[in-house]
Amino acid sequence: GQQVMQIPQYQHVQEGEDFTTYCNSSTTLSNIQWYKQRPGGHPVFLIQLVKSGEVKKQKRLTFQFGEAKKNSSLHITATQTTDVGTYFCAGPRETSGSRLTFGEGTQLTVNP
Site residues for another protein per CB under 8 A: 1, 6, 9, 30-31, 33, 35, 41-45, 48, 88, 90, 92, 97-105
Minimum distance, C-beta of residue 30 to another protein, in the bound complex (Å): 6
**Torsion of Cα atoms, 25 then 27 then 31 then 36, to 10°:** -20
Minimum distance, C-beta of residue 105 to another protein, in the bound complex (Å): 5
User: Which is nearer to another protein, 29 or 76 (by Cβ)?
Assistant: 29
Report angle CA 6, 7, 9 to the nearest 5 degrees. Answer: 95
Rg (CA), the chain: 13
Minimum distance, C-beta of residue 88 to another protein, in the bound complex (Å): 6
User: Which is nearer to another protein, 30 or 111 (by Cβ)?
Assistant: 30
User: Which is nearer to another protein, 16 or 38 (by Cβ)?
Assistant: 38
Other beta carbons less than 10 A from residue 64's beta carbon: 19
Q: How far apart are CA 80 and CA 57, in angstroms?
A: 17
